[in-house]
Structure 1
Amino acid sequence: MIDNKYQLIEKIGLGGSSLVYKATDIDGNDYAIKILRKDKEYNNRQGAQMICKEHQILSELHGHSNLIQSYEVNPNGVLEVDGRSEECIYQVTELATNGSLSNIVRNTGPLEEELARFFITQILYAVLHLHSKEYAHLDIKLENIFLDEYFNIKLGDLGSSAHVGSNDGFFDHRRGTPLYMAPEVKSLEPGEEYDAFSSDMYSLGITLFVMLTGEFPTPSDLGHSFETKESDEMEDCTSAPKLDQQKIKRFSHLSSEVIELIQEMTEENDVGRPQVQDILESEWLQKPFSEDICEMAFQEMEARKNFLLEECQRHSFKGIF
């Protein structure tokens, strides 16, 4: 129990220096609660600052249907553990009932292109809202993309985010996760700055790639060397190495439009990357969806979730659902 208001039900995640629990309040409403215990070594000043900052940012954004909502933060909370009272810092957020998109893709395989397009559109609108308020996320990745009870997208973990409007969108601290990090962020030197909005686009490009392939790209994957089902008659590009036969087979199911978009989003030179509105207006995202895309997405994701639940039960693992 926390502050005699929230009953902890089960641990559902580990976020940096914090533990995340499913919890209910006295009225039976479900939440996710991120907790840092002050008596534990994983508690640190940076973790506390990130929790408080995330709540502040989400409060300033005034809500968006594709952003996790934050309801409360208390830097002086009291956690009841085995009859003892422990000081803690906690944040109460919306509960993403169906876990993270990372869990789905990692355990059930990549998404079909239309489904990935349906989800990436929702992510883009969340990022567009962030950027319109002059915030950069700075840690976009599958692990920070969550799913509500209807499998709608909820972008979360804004603890690394920064307000960059006063500096024309530029930022001078390295933040993010290396596998998703733009090259200019990885190579950042003291005194240097980078375009934070553009770095978000790079991370989003990597996210889209993983959604579609279930793998992280190699440097050659991000070059102009893809082979697709529409590219049998493409001109030979001698300036870029060709993918080997295994990679050609791996990408053969992807359309040329999405591959071109990923290459643009992960352009090594940040000046050449499209921004959110450009991506939304791209040829790939302008394709019409199937009339029943919402129902189709729900059925597909529900089937994947049920498969995971069966696997967890078969192997006596505790799932996240």
Structure 2
Amino acid sequence: MEQGREAHCSTEETFTAEYKMMMTLGQGQFSEVKLAFHIPTVSCVAVKICRNQKYASLIKSEINIMKSLAHPNIIKLFHVVQTRETTYLVMEHASEGDLLHHVLELGSLEESEARRLFTQILHAVQYCHDKFIIHRDIKADNILLDHRGNAKLCDFGISAKVIPGQKLSGFCGTLNYCAPELFGKEAYDGRTTDIWSLGVLLFFMVTGRFPFKAYSAVRVIQQILTANFRVPPHVSVDIRDLILKLLIINPYRRLTIGQIMRHPMVRNSEACLPPTSPHLSQAPRALALSGP
């Protein structure tokens, strides 16, 4: 298919005639994601099925954000179908599943693999932040792996597009990955909350567990608010150092994206990164056509 084309819309009749729904890949609060077969091009895609009734504004925001993104480490939106009750988002399918299950199956990642994937994820987040998009739910569940083993950031359902200097407010995200400032009453810089989540993600990748985990949500929050965690001794010095510089209570003392890029762990990883898969190479060609 041609690259750089905008996601387009079509009628429900065309959509149902061209796609065969298969297994469910995931389920969320207001949506589910199914594997689907695009009959004209004999290709697999992921279809996010959203209920419009209560979440129309979130769905609209997600579509607008995803349409603006074109990065090899971010899941691509191909096609949108909207009816009165339901919105279908046809997206790139990452055939190797999500990072959460991948890590749990292995117990933890080899450090070389953790460095490679984390660096790819970091590039995706930097790209978003450069476009003033805050993901707000970075977690292993929202990192998919394609057929070449490359990381793909997905699920922009609660993401926010901000203007320079704009702060966010309110609790948002998944508890184990949430930054301390999310539990306060003051507005916060969304970029620093994403960076905290990256620290939790890196810890999980190299240990197979979360830095903040307890039998109750109250206890987890207490651990987060005091940054009460311990990096296991087997973790390499440069990875340990980066984790400690990301999981800092004061958001203004956390490393910025630019500083993370210059950190030895990431600098050393960049040199051995394999080429990412050609963007959109697995997409159905018919989905490249622009529509209304």
Give the alignment's TM-score, normalised by structure 1. 0.72
> What do residues 138-169 of structure 1 show as CA deviations (whole Å, max 9, x unaligned)?
11000000011111110000111111224x04
Give the Cα–Cα distance (whole angstroms) in 1 for the partners of residues 162 and 270 of structure 2: 34
Give the Cα–Cα distance (whole angstroms) in 2 for the partners of residues 282 and 266 of structure 1: 15
Does structure 2 conserve the Cα–Cα contact (< 8 Å) formed by 1:51 and 1:90?
Answer: no
Aligned-residue RMSD, C-alpha: 2.6
Q: 1:188 aligns with which of 157, 178, 184?
A: 184
Does structure 2 conserve the Cα–Cα contact (< 8 Å) formed by 1:32 and 1:95?
Answer: yes
SS at match of 1:24: strand
- In structure 2, what is the equivalent of residue 51 of structure 1? 59
SS at match of 2:103: helix
Residue 255 (str. 1) matches residue 253 (str. 2): no
- In structure 1, what is the equivalent of residue 267 of structure 2? 286
- In structure 2, what is the equivalent of residue 162 of structure 1? 160
SS at match of 1:95: coil
Give the Cα–Cα distance (whole angstroms) in 2 for the partners of residues 17 and 289 of structure 1: 37
How far is the alpha carbon of 1:71 from its aligned partner?
A: 1.3
How far is the alpha carbon of 1:223 from its aligned partner?
A: 5.7
Unmatched runs of 5 consecutive residues or more in structure 2 = 1-12, 213-222, 276-292
Equivalences for 1:16-55 in 2 at 5 Å?
A: 16-27=29-40, 28-36=42-50, 44-46=53-55, 48-55=56-63
Give the Cα–Cα distance (whole angstroms) in 2 for the partners of residues 288 and 155 of structure 1: 19
Residues 224 and 5 from structure 1, CA distance in 2 versus in 1: closer, same or farther, beyond 3 angstroms? closer
Does structure 2 conserve the Cα–Cα contact (< 8 Å) formed by 1:138 and 1:176?
Answer: yes
Residue 73 (str. 1) matches residue 71 (str. 2): no
Give the Cα–Cα distance (whole angstroms) in 1 for the partners of residues 163 and 97 of structure 2: 32
SS at match of 1:116: helix
Question: What amino acid is aligned across from residue 29 of structure 1 in structure 2?
Answer: S
Q: Which has the larger radius of gyration?
A: 1
> What do residues 91-115 of structure 1 show as CA deviations (whole Å, max 9, x unaligned)?
1111111110011112221111111
Does structure 2 conserve the Cα–Cα contact (< 8 Å) formed by 1:58 and 1:70?
Answer: yes
Name the structure, 1 or 2, with higher relative contact order (CA <8 Å, separation 6+): 2
How far is the alpha carbon of 1:225 from its aligned partner?
A: 6.0
Q: 1:270 aligns with which of 244, 247, 251?
A: 251
Give the Cα–Cα distance (whole angstroms) in 1 for the partners of residues 108 and 48 of structure 2: 29
SS at match of 1:260: helix
Equivalences for 1:122-133 in 2 at 5 Å?
A: 122-133=120-131
Give the Cα–Cα distance (whole angstroms) in 2 for the partners of residues 182 and 4 of structure 1: 45
Aligned residues: 252
Give the Cα–Cα distance (whole angstroms) in 1 for the partners of residues 61 and 20 of structure 2: 24
Q: 1:3 aligns with which of 5, 16, 26?
A: 16
Give the Cα–Cα distance (whole angstroms) in 2 for the partners of residues 92 and 271 of structure 1: 38
Does structure 1 conserve the Cα–Cα contact (< 8 Å) formed by 2:211 and 2:229?
Answer: no
- In structure 1, what is the equivalent of residue 194 of structure 2? 200
SS at match of 1:19: strand
Residues 68 and 100 from structure 1, CA distance in 2 versus in 1: closer, same or farther, beyond 3 angstroms? same
Residues 289 and 179 from structure 1, CA distance in 2 versus in 1: closer, same or farther, beyond 3 angstroms? same
How far is the alpha carbon of 1:36 from its aligned partner?
A: 3.3
Unmatched runs of 5 consecutive residues or more in structure 1 = 38-42, 78-86, 227-250, 296-321
Question: What amino acid is aligned across from residue 237 of structure 2 in structure 1?
Answer: S
How far is the alpha carbon of 1:287 from its aligned partner?
A: 2.1
Does structure 1 conserve the Cα–Cα contact (< 8 Å) formed by 2:119 and 2:270?
Answer: no
Does structure 2 conserve the Cα–Cα contact (< 8 Å) formed by 1:17 and 1:44?
Answer: no
Residues 93 and 289 from structure 1, CA distance in 2 versus in 1: closer, same or farther, beyond 3 angstroms? closer
- In structure 2, what is the equivalent of residue 109 of structure 1? 107
